[in-house]
Copies of this chain bind each other. A is one copy, B any other.
Amino acid sequence: MNLEATPQGVVAGSVPLFAGHPARDLLPIDGLQRIISAAWGDGGVARFLNYGAEQGNPQLIDFLVERMNRTENLGISRENLMIIGGSTGGVGMITRHLTVPGDIVLVDAPSYRDALHIFRDHKLDMRSVPIDDEGIIAADLECKLRELASKGERPRFYYVVPNFQNPSGITMTRERRMAVIELSRRYGFAIVEDDVYSDLRFAGATPPSFYGLAGGQNVLRLGTFSKTLAPGLRIGWLIASADRIAEFVESGMLRMGGGANPFSAALVADYCRSGAWEAHVEWLRGQYRRRRDMALAALESSMPAAVEWTRPAGGYFIWLRLPAAVYVDDLESRAQEQGVYFASGKGFYVDPADGAHHLRLSFSFVSPPELRAGIEVLGNLIAQMAQ
């Protein structure tokens, strides 16, 4: 079972702390209904229903370009953006387009599980670099690159979730981003920036994107409406150089056959243009912040002293390090007996053994009482097991 995508697979009455989904009560169901009704009412719905251009819905492209230029001063034009069917599908597209089997790609340790799955099945040679509270450790990255260069090898790209990372919740600092860009130029690799959580910051601003810091040079940046609107619509976007976008749009290897989901995309475009999306994102920030606070408070009161965890400033996830005596496999089976499910750390590493004492909790999907109860169960189990 793909736990990332199917919480419905879980036993009724259980607490799915693994699900990287928005909770049902955080989906803007009424707002979307108003948009759909209006589209049908004004007869414009035919444009929802036929084939579209491969680059995607033009109104949605224009909206995203304007927003990104307004909020980030990004300086992009419509040639720099295409609509895709979600960001994970985008990672697949980029991988197909930029790599051949055997190519080296760099990933964080830990990194997003579905991306590792994609790279593995494309038979790529994944090399991981550890992260700390500021993101990838630049000195370790440089060592890895020098080592590769000494053998005449070079990575094709570095894949990164820069903000509120899945699974750790960590945001890479501006300094680290600059260091990575500098290395990417020196050693000649692209940066694939999977920026799915940046809109869900709980306060302040995230650092500028890799795309922005690099002036767009050799960066491919993914975004999505899955976390801030509704995953089932399967609409995301890719920002890159105009040449790169044109290649993607024209490529028979990436052919969507009429653009990314014209029906959903037109609905999303109308929703965004009405102003509803940005208001909804603002509201969501408060909702997820409250859940994050509750999760951190529950961890504080439930966890034995030897457990460590991250304090994310946005997004969906908290990353736990268990005491050395506690193995995540054991904890997982005992927790499941009590109906509590989480994402084992092992899935987030190139070498699963590196995650033997880690786990990811998601505070996005379950209700606040379930969140507290689930964390309490885990705290008790860990306390018993650590003795």
Contact = CB atoms under 8 A, between A and B. Distances in A.
Interface of A: 2, 4-9, 21-22, 24, 27, 29, 32-33, 36-37, 40, 45-46, 48-54, 85-89, 92, 96, 114, 117-122, 226, 230-234, 251-264, 266
A373 to B, nearest CB: 22
A52 B230 contact: no
A5 B54 CA distance: 8
A32 B230 CA distance: 20
A88 B27 contact: no
Contacts of A232: 48-52, 258, 261-263, 266
B255 A234 contact: no
22 contacts: A5-B53, A5-B54, A6-B51, A6-B53, A9-B53, A29-B45, A49-B233, A51-B226, A51-B231, A85-B85, A88-B256, A89-B256, A92-B255, A118-B252, A118-B253, A118-B255, A121-B251, A122-B252, A230-B263, A231-B262, A234-B257, A234-B258
B231 A50 contact: yes
A234 B251 contact: no
B2 A86 contact: no
A5 B40 contact: no
B5 A29 contact: no
A240 B119 CA distance: 25
Contacts of A114: 252, 255, 257
Contacts of A256: 85-86, 88-89, 234
Nearest to A33: B40
A5 B258 contact: yes
Nearest to A101: B100
A7 B85 CA distance: 22
B251 A263 contact: no
Contacts of A22: 50
Contacts of A86: 256-258
Nearest to A256: B89
Contact of A255 (B52, B88, B262): B88
Max chain B Cβ within 10 angstroms of own Cβ: one of A24, A54, A253: A253
A88 B257 CA distance: 5
Query: 6 tightest A-B contacts by CB?
Result: A88-B257, A121-B252, A232-B262, A49-B230, A117-B252, A49-B232
A50 B260 CA distance: 17
A29 B40 contact: yes
Given A36-B36, A49-B231, A50-B232, 20 more contacts: A4-B51, A5-B53, A6-B52, A9-B53, A27-B50, A29-B45, A33-B45, A51-B232, A88-B255, A89-B256, A117-B252, A118-B252, A121-B253, A232-B262, A232-B263, A234-B257, A234-B258, A234-B260, A261-B264, A264-B264
A45 to B, nearest CB: 6
Contacts of A96: 96, 253
Contact of A46 (B29, B53, B89, B251): B29
Contacts of A226: 51, 258
A54 B2 contact: yes
Contacts of A51: 4-7, 21, 226, 231-232
A11 B33 CA distance: 34
B53 A29 contact: no
Nearest to A19: B51
